[in-house]
Amino acid sequence: GQSLEQPSEVTAVEGAIVQINCTYQTSGFYGLSWYQQHDGGAPTFLSYNALDGLEETGRFSSFLSRSDSYGYLLLQELQMKDSASYFCAVRDYDTPLVFGKGTRLSVIA
Amino acid sequence: NAGVTQTPKFQVLKTGQSMTLQCAQDMNHEYMSWYRQDPGMGLRLIHYSVGAGITDQGEVPNGYNVSRSTTEDFPLRLLSAAPSQTSVYFCASSYSIPGASQPQHFGDGTRLSIL
């Protein structure tokens, strides 16, 4: 089976940088994904890491360390619209994508 | 572009009733899945399908049935609704099994209440 751990809540100031961590335990590993979900909305895909290192997409970056079973999502130049829930997700050899319980990010002025 | 379409958007049922949540995608995706989302629990996989005629169970399959007769449609059936099935249900699709590199496209969800 799999387990994913991420903080339940994070608060950050507009314009700042925030990091949301995710640790995982899986039987085999294909990669780590991140999804964003605004209140009342559907999850949307943000990023994906299969190999160690940092992937950058605009203000968002995602990092993976396979040896540490750890990744994080980095949000820069925070905007109020970034207030949302963020989910890490993994796929292992036995199961399609499994999601963490989510981190609720609140951006304050 | 419709993407993933779920119907209905809202539904209230009585305990013991049955119903079918509809999901259709127009992107010719092979992989489709159903999740339920409860407060503080994230998204939990109910059932999934890797192609027409092929389905499999996810983390929380009890009380739900699925079928995949066409590539486009993947309905979720509640056999005998229970209050514990009150949740928001999301259907998702992708070109292949979402090995992280395959982003899943989600429908807008069905908000289901069972009294």
Q: Which of A45, A49, A99 sits opposite B42 (nearest CB)?
A: A99
pLDDT band at A72 (very low <50, low <70, confident <90, very high): very high
Lowest mean pLDDT among A18-22, A28-32, B28-32, B35-39: A28-32
Q: Which of B43, B97, B100 sits opposite A48 (nearest CB)?
A: B100
A101–B58 C-beta distance less than 8 A: no
B103–A48 C-beta distance less than 8 A: yes
pLDDT at B99 exceeding the cut of 80? no
Q: Which of B23, B30, B104 to probe by mutation at the A interface, max A CB count within 10 Å?
A: B104
What mean pLDDT do residues B75-98 have? 93
pLDDT at A63 exceeding the cut of 90? yes
Which single residue is written with the structure tokens 């949000």?
A75
A102–B59 C-beta distance less than 8 A: no
Q: Distance between CA atoms of B11 and A42, rounded to whole angstroms?
A: 17
A42–B107 C-beta distance less than 8 A: yes
Neighbouring CB atoms inside 10 A of A106's CB total 12
What mean pLDDT do residues A47-51 have? 90
* Residue B52 pLDDT: 94
Q: What is the pLDDT of residues A51-61, one digit of tens each?
A: 999 999 899 99
B40–A45 C-beta distance less than 8 A: no
Neighbouring CB atoms inside 10 A of A108's CB total 11
Strand partners, B76: B21, B66
Nearest to B60 by CA among B80, B39, B33: B33
What mean pLDDT do residues B4-17 have? 97
Q: What is the pLDDT of residues B22-58, one digit of tens each?
A: 999 999 999 999 999 998 788 999 999 999 999 999 9
What mean pLDDT do residues A75-98 have? 90
Q: Does B90 touch chain A (CB under 8 A)?
A: yes
CB A14 within 8 A of CB A108: yes
Mean pLDDT of chain B: 93
Which single residue is written with the structure tokens 């779920």?
B6
Q: Does B97 touch chain A (CB under 8 A)?
A: yes
Q: Which of B40, B99, B109 sits opposite A31 (nearest CB)?
A: B99
Q: Distance between CA atoms of B73 and A39, rounded to whole angstroms?
A: 27
Q: Distance between CA atoms of A39 and A15, rounded to whole angstroms?
A: 21
Longest dimension (CA), chain B: 40
